[in-house]
Amino acid sequence: MAQAMKLTCLDCGQVNRVPSDRVSAGAKCGTCGAKLVSNKAIEVDFATLQKAARNDDLPLVVDFWAPWCGPCRMMAPEFAKAAQELNGQARLVKLNTENYPQAGQAYGIRGIPTMAGFRGGREKARQSGAMPSTSIVSWVKDAV
């Protein structure tokens, strides 16, 4: 029997236990039915980010960004490509620091874009600056 992994639903915030062999096979939230793992970068709010970063067993990569930031806008399609490539290996989410300025303070974000990788309730790595999708994928696989 496969070991269970904890994954926070990015829609309703419920923490789910999912057998590790079902993570990339369309596992859904037991509360709201939303897919728990997506091949897209998902926009999250501050509360959901905190809960997922604290609880999830699957690596969580957060892109801290803002709509006025040119490099952030340049990196957005690259981050989306990386999410497709890392489907089932990590979840990629975006947090708009304009909407949630407390996130920047809570996580010590000094500049944007900044990516932070979380696993097992702890921040494992951080990278500032825009990157192409190939570099994002390599960074996630190596550091997170």
In a domain, 11, yes or no: no
pTM value is 0.93
CA dihedral 143, 115, 23, 35 (to 10 degrees): 180
**Confidence check: pLDDT of 20 > 90:** no
Pick the catalytic residue: 12, 29, 32, 72?
Answer: 72
28 C-beta neighbours (distance < 10 Å), count? 15
**pLDDT, tens digit, for every residue of 78-94?**
999 999 999 989 999 99
Rounded mean pLDDT, 52-56: 95
pLDDT at 51 over 60: yes
In a domain, 46, yes or no: yes
For residue 69, indicate whether it is catalytic. yes
Rounded CA-CA distance 65/100 in Å is: 10
The predicted structure's pLDDT at residue 21: 81
Of 9, 12, 32, 69, which residue is the catalytic one? 69
72 is catalytic: yes
Position 34 in a domain: no
Number of structural domains the chain divides into: 1
Dihedral sign (CA 137, 40, 95, 10) = negative
* Residue 69's CATH number: 3.40.30.10
